[in-house]
Chains A and B, each alone.
Chain A
Amino acid sequence: MGLFDNLKSALKKTKDVLRTDVRDLLRSGEILDEAKLEEFYRGLITTDMGVAAATEVVETLRKEFGGRTVVPDKIWEVVRTQLKTILLGESGTGWDRANPIGPLNIAATGPTVILVSGVNGVGKTTSIAKLARLLHGSGRKVLLAAGDTFRAAAVEQLTMWSKRIGCDIVTKPPKSDPASVAFEGCDQAVARGADFAIIDTAGRLQTQQNLMSELQKIHRVIAKRIEGAPHESLLVLDATTGQNGLSQASKFSEAAGCTGIILTKLDGTAKGGVVIAIRQKMGIPVKYIGVGEQLDDLQVFSADDFVNALFDDV
């Protein structure tokens, strides 16, 4: 018995637990009855898309296919289309993988300012590093602003990333006013002719009034310094997040006018389905996904891949 047999069996057990491949449910020729619809509902709920969205999908299936013989491909087509339509919004078009900068709103002239916010520990700082790497790697001049002056060693963390990437960074001592760091970041971006300024902020829960006002102030200060900024206000959302993601999206949007979402930690077993509910209720699109802790683990969001992965076995 090796030391790690324990782990192997542990992982195997999870794989069993996670065998929620909804596709297994629907075998050709069977009747789509209430029991099957309920199993389907279970699969949808498991992705964290929420009761409302899951009910809507099941309703559609019941209406179109209920009591009839299952033709799996047809059913999948309907479900996939429905979810993709929600995720892509009115335009119906997604981002082009070949153009990783495509999802970003770019300033007509001067630096493009990207403000990044979200609740504690979701992956803001790491995502900023990944985004900076992406932009830096494509020849853009990037400047980071270490706007988390609160959390222990948050500035050091972003500084270490900036060194690895080889991009500029603006920092101030711990407990400095984060709005002043953001202002300085914009200032320096203009002065140094940067193409992008990415501003980190401290993690905060959306119910903390004072901290949400602080975020609002950061947003305001940026807008004052550079016209039209921030051109992009990205909300970072952890894929393991449940229905609280809705409250996060709505309150952060109020304070910082979110223009897009970075959905992190999709390399785990969580599906991140709450972004479906968020897109449905608030219209905020997912622009990037995080799939690991390293600099290259950032991808342009693809509704196609995302919807397929929702139903993937793990």
Chain B
Amino acid sequence: MFESITRNLGDALGSIARGRLTESNIRDGMGKVRQALLEADVNYDVAKAFTQRVTEQAVGEKVLKALRPAEQIVGIVYQELVSLMGPVDHSLAIRRGELSVIMMCGLQGAGKTTTCGKLARMLKEQGNKPMLVAADLQRPAAIEQLRVIGEQIGVPVYWEEAARSNPVQVCVNARKEARAHDCNVLILDTAGRLHVDDALMKELMEVDNKLMPDQALLVCDAMTGQDAVNSAKVFNDALELDGVILTKLDGDTRGGAALSVKAVTGVPIKFIGVGEQLDRLEKFHPDRMAQRILGQGDVATLLETA
């Protein structure tokens, strides 16, 4: 499947490289770049805007007169992708001696609970005292899942009997509990919800209002296609997200969702999940992501041979 993307980009840039560089063959090539982006699941509108901007740059006089124009164009495509997905921001704004609150949210099955565990583990290693909060009272065994994870990493989990509580109450009580236990980070694991589910979005905003999280993080599955922008936009409008965490990047997805979500919300991507184990969390690097979207080593190769 990837071959086609590589071939596409290769063709695109090849046709630019061969013969004379004209505005029309640049546009032609850029059409193929757009197709490659679509095949990598970059949102249509984002891909279109992106290629338009790059085309404008590319047909600029500087490029046309450059010594090796094709090389320059590949460079522009790559650089634009990198700068669109940046700047890097890995901060979680944790304050020592005070209680910081991190709230995770996202669609069903995106990886919220697992990522809560990964963050808790990372923060603990950095010398913090995190506490996990089981605020998903909805999915069968969601509380049990978080408790198992807490045990695995030696981090306390606050939970209440699902039948006798609600998410807001759990979070409010957890805050008291965290203070009593001298914890400095509270990580809220909320239930998965659809962005079009009115009632559940309201519930989430209520937690947001009561707890005033320092970080509201959207957990987004990297395999998401064109719909990524729709959900990200609603979560951001409702909560003013501080960051995005992309999960399941250990597979072979091109991860176009990264570009789409960043372009549409402007919210920085902070971390990526690269496995089910709780140590599989990495900082997000726009340059690596750009290479991935365009086809791993391919860009480097094209840059060399263009």
With both chains docked as a complex, state the minimum distance between the C-beta of A64 and any C-beta of chain B, in angstroms: 23
Contact A243 B44 (CB under 8 A): no
Is B28 located at the chain interface by the 8 A CB criterion? no
Number of A-B contacts (CB under 8 A): 178
**Given A242-B41, A314-B196, also A156-B109 (CB < 8 A):** no
- The proximity string for A residues 122-139 relative to B, scoring 1 for CB distances below 8 Å and 0 otherwise, is 110000000000000000
Contact A17 B251 (CB under 8 A): no
A195 vs B101: C-alpha distance in the bound complex, in angstroms? Answer: 50
Is B35 located at the chain interface by the 8 A CB criterion? yes
Q: Which of A10, A208, A246 has the most CB of B within 10 A?
A: A10
Q: Contact check: which of A17, A152, A241, A267 meets B223 at CB < 8 Å? A: A241
Q: Which of B110, B144, B148, B225 has the most CB of A within 10 A?
A: B225
**Given A10-B234, A11-B196, also A153-B44 (CB < 8 A):** no
Contact A205 B248 (CB under 8 A): yes
- Determine the residue in chain B with the shortest Cβ distance to A159: B141
- The proximity string for B residues 14-45 relative to A, scoring 1 for CB distances below 8 Å and 0 otherwise, is 00000000000000000000010011110011
Contact A207 B251 (CB under 8 A): yes
Stretch of B55-63, B88-96, B177-185, B199-207 contacting A (4+ beta carbons < 8 Å): B199-207
A123 vs B192: C-alpha distance in the bound complex, in angstroms? Answer: 12
Contact B139 A244 (CB under 8 A): no
A152 vs B144: C-alpha distance in the bound complex, in angstroms? Answer: 8
Contacts of B44 on A, CB cut-off 8 Å?
42, 45-46
Contact B225 A242 (CB under 8 A): yes
User: In B241-263, which residues have CB < 8 Å from any A CB?
Assistant: 248, 250-254, 256-257
Is A98 located at the chain interface by the 8 A CB criterion? no
Contact A17 B196 (CB under 8 A): no
- The proximity string for B residues 220-232 relative to A, scoring 1 for CB distances below 8 Å and 0 otherwise, is 0101111111110
Contacts of B276 on A, CB cut-off 8 Å?
120, 150-151, 203
Stretch of A28-36, A80-88, A100-108, A268-276 contacting B (4+ beta carbons < 8 Å): A268-276
Contacts of B48 on A, CB cut-off 8 Å?
42
**Given A4-B205, A123-B108, also A47-B149 (CB < 8 A):** no
- The proximity string for A residues 260-303 relative to B, scoring 1 for CB distances below 8 Å and 0 otherwise, is 00000101111100100000000000000000010000000000
Contact A45 B202 (CB under 8 A): no
User: In A140-166, which residues have CB < 8 Å from any B CB?
Assistant: 150-154, 156-157, 159-161
Q: How large is the interface on A (under 10, 10 to 19, 20 to 34, 35 or more residues)?
A: 35 or more
A270 vs B225: C-alpha distance in the bound complex, in angstroms? Answer: 8
Contact A240 B224 (CB under 8 A): yes
**Given A7-B202, A293-B139, also A242-B226 (CB < 8 A):** yes
Is B194 located at the chain interface by the 8 A CB criterion? yes
A244 vs B250: C-alpha distance in the bound complex, in angstroms? Answer: 13
A48 vs B111: C-alpha distance in the bound complex, in angstroms? Answer: 22
Is B303 located at the chain interface by the 8 A CB criterion? no
21 A-B pairs in the complex with CB atoms less than 8 angstroms apart: A4-B202, A7-B238, A10-B238, A17-B233, A45-B38, A51-B39, A119-B248, A121-B111, A151-B145, A152-B145, A152-B149, A160-B140, A205-B250, A240-B221, A241-B225, A242-B224, A242-B226, A244-B223, A268-B107, A270-B224, A274-B225
7 smallest A-B Cβ distances: which pairs? A242-B225, A121-B109, A10-B237, A242-B41, A152-B148, A270-B227, A205-B251
Q: Supply 5 further A-B pairs (C-beta < 8 A) apart from A14-B195, A243-B225.
A: A205-B250, A207-B250, A247-B252, A269-B230, A270-B227
Binding site for B on A (CB under 8 A): 3-4, 6-7, 9-11, 13-14, 17-18, 42, 45-48, 50-51, 119-123, 150-154, 156-157, 159-161, 203, 205-208, 238, 240-247, 265, 267-271, 274, 293, 314
